Amino acid sequence: MERQILCIGSINIDEVYSVPHIVRAGETITTLDRREIAGGKGMEWANFCVAAAKAGASVHMGAQIGKDGVWIRDLIAGAGVNVDNVMISETPTGRAVIQVERDTAENCIFLFKGANHSFQVKDIQNLCRQFSPGDWLAMPNETNHVDEAIRQAKACGMHVLWNPSPMTPELVEHYPMGLVDILVVNESELDVLAAQIGLLQTQQQQQQQQQQSGRIGNVAFETQALHVQETLGIKVLVVTRGKTGSFAVLSNPGASNPITVSVGMAPVPAGQVKDTTAAGDTWLGYFLATLIRKIPPVPSLSMSADVVQDAMITASYASGIGVTRHGAIPSIPSRAEVERFLETSQL
């Protein structure tokens, strides 16, 4: 039986400005170009839905949009996502204003939450009750009632993948972290989690430990990830690391130590990188869709290190294709394109 993914997250209209450099405090600059498109980075889960659907998963999106965002709902539906639970709110659709640096493709964003925070508890409950044990809830920290969604999903026997972005104060204290099966964060978010559970060391302490042990490299980072995974009781902690690749820690019942997996970036020449806007969303959508395809379709959750590593590699290659294209949703590759890139290492 095919497992379904319920995505509860944000839909934004993006205003994308090409700039000579990211604007600094007190500075006024002239943009080189402006585009208004669907999808975006950060407060945006529609990209994840489209990526997971293009990767071959059965994806349902639960979201709130204003009347000004109906065209985005139609666009998402055209990419193969079920949008029956994308609801129309009186509040305008969320907006993301994005600066993309011309030469480096780096970006920065500010956001208007809009309809993304129009959920009521009953909306969340109704969404989760449409799904079966063994299905997946995948969501960021972009809407209201995230904690209720996690609890309701687990009450319905679903598995939970959570990307707690944007990070909020006292996240560990106020959210049901122990109910999350897969937690996905970037390095800065890992730092925030570690600080919240009292495990973040100062840079000086990290350096002293490395000198004493004679080890260099990512000792402090890996130790931090291991501590966070163990303390929060997460089955799988995934850390995305930008140009460095990705890293995962898997619980290993019956063994003294968890399992770690490290994957590098796909072979994309730097000169071909055009826009990193939806890179993380594409990575995550392909990661979960690939994982679901390779694990047993039963309510109990079992994931081997090999399966997780394969999903991370596929996600890296999908994201690699995406950054060679402009835009968010338009940049997300098809499964056939990703498989070809995996086979040939040629874009």
**Of 89-103, 236-250, 289-303, 306-320, where does mean pLDDT reach its minimum?**
289-303
Give the residue among 139, 1, 164 at the shortest CA–CA distance from 62: 139
pLDDT tens digits for 70-96? 998 998 999 899 999 999 999 999 988
Give the residue among 266, 282, 278 at the shortest CA–CA distance from 341: 266
Q: What domains can you pick out in the chain, each with its CATH number?
A: 4-23+33-344 (3.40.1190.20)
Q: Band of the pLDDT at 161, cuts 50, 70, 90?
A: very high
What pTM value is reported for the model?
A: 0.86
Which tokens in the block code for residue 335? 């499964």
Residue 38 pLDDT: 74
Average pLDDT over residues 137-161: 95
Give the residue among 231, 235, 134 at the shortest CA–CA distance from 190: 231
**Exposure class string for 58-70: b at 16+ Cβ within 10 A, else e:** bbbbbbbbbeebe
Give the residue among 71, 113, 116 at the shortest CA–CA distance from 89: 116
pLDDT tens digits for 3-51? 999 999 988 888 889 999 999 999 999 999 998 877 654 446 788 999 9
pLDDT tens digits for 215-256? 434 457 888 999 999 999 999 999 999 888 999 999 988 777
